[in-house]
Structures are given as C-alpha cells and as structure tokens.
C-alpha cells in the first residue's frame, strides 16, 4: 500500500453519515479508494462541522476510528494561508459569511500537499489552484 495522505471535506462524510441518496455510494467508494492508497484524515474544521451529527465526542471518535480516519490539526502555515485566501476572496467581492471553513480546509490540504476528497469545489479551485481535488465526474 502506498502512503498517500488524502484529506476529506465535510460533505463527503455527511454523505456517509446521512446515507445521502444521491451521494452516499460515491462517497463510500472514494473513501475506500483513498484508504487503499494510504492514510485518510480530516482537519479540526471538518471535525467541528461533522460533530453536529453525533451525540457525543466519544461516538464521533469511535466512528472516525472505525472508518480509519485520522484527525490532523491545522498548522500555523495553513492558518496563515487561509487568512490570505480570505483577503483575496474579500477583494474579489465575496461576502463576509460562510467562507472561512472552506478556506481552512483548502489551506490545510495545500500545506500538507495532500489531495482533497470533496464534492463542493468552487472555492477550493478558485483560491487554491495548486490543490489536487478528488471530485465526482461532471454531470453531462
């Protein structure tokens, strides 16, 4: 097994946890494929976002452990990069709300040079052009 680190965005985990009719199979398949390539992890922001679907820390931690998903904290470098991406976003006329979580997640992946498994990719592509994304095929 190669030791490629793949980071996972919240929407992919929510697909699995909620058994999303349109996305659960794709997300499960991609998580399995990522595990075959190496390590699978999330950052603090994804942990916080996914926590709303769990009753306790212990239940969430057990689910992540069972899925083989690690928690990797954000580095100062990632935090700084997210702040710079937010400045670029605001300079381009972006709204003040709702963007920072994606920027933290994207910056985390960039600073670890890890691909990001995600479905909602607009901000990642716009503010982190060097980021490798694992996404669904475009709908024809």
**Cα(first)–Cα(last) distance of the chain, in Å?**
34
Q: How confident is the model at residue 98 (pLDDT cuts 50, 70, 90)?
A: low
Give the C-alpha separation, 34 to 18, whole Å.
Answer: 20
The answer to the question of residue 139 being in a domain is: no
**By three-state DSSP, how is residue 35 classified?**
helix
Task: Answer yes or no: is 36 within a domain.
Answer: yes
d(CA 67, CA 85): 31
Average pLDDT, the chain: 92
Given a cut of 60, is residue 26 above it in pLDDT?
yes
Does residue 120 belong to any structural domain of this protein?
Answer: yes
> What confidence score (pLDDT) does residue 140 get?
41
Task: Give the pLDDT mean for 57-84.
Answer: 95
Q: Which CATH number does the domain housing residue 57 bear? A: 3.40.50.1010
- Both tokens of 30, joined, read 């991609």
**Does residue 140 form part of some domain?**
no
Residue 40 lies in a domain: yes
Contact 8, 34 (CB under 8 A): yes
């Amino acid at each position: 097994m190669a030791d490629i680190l793949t980071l996972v965005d919240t929407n992919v985990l929510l697909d699995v946890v909620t058994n999303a009719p349109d996305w659960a199979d794709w997300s499960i398949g991609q998580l399995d494929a990522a595990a075959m390539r190496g390590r699978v992890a999330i950052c603090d922001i994804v942990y916080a976002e996914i926590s709303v679907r769990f009753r306790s820390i212990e239940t969430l931690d057990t689910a992540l452990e069972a899925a083989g998903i690690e928690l990797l904290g954000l580095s100062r470098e990632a935090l700084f990069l997210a702040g710079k991406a937010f400045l670029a976003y605001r300079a381009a006329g972006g709204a003040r709300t709702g963007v920072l979580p994606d920027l933290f997640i994207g910056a985390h992946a960039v600073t670890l040079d890890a691909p990001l498994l995600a479905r909602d990719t607009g901000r990642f592509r716009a503010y982190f052009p060097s980021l490798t994304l694992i996404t669904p095929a475009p709908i024809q």
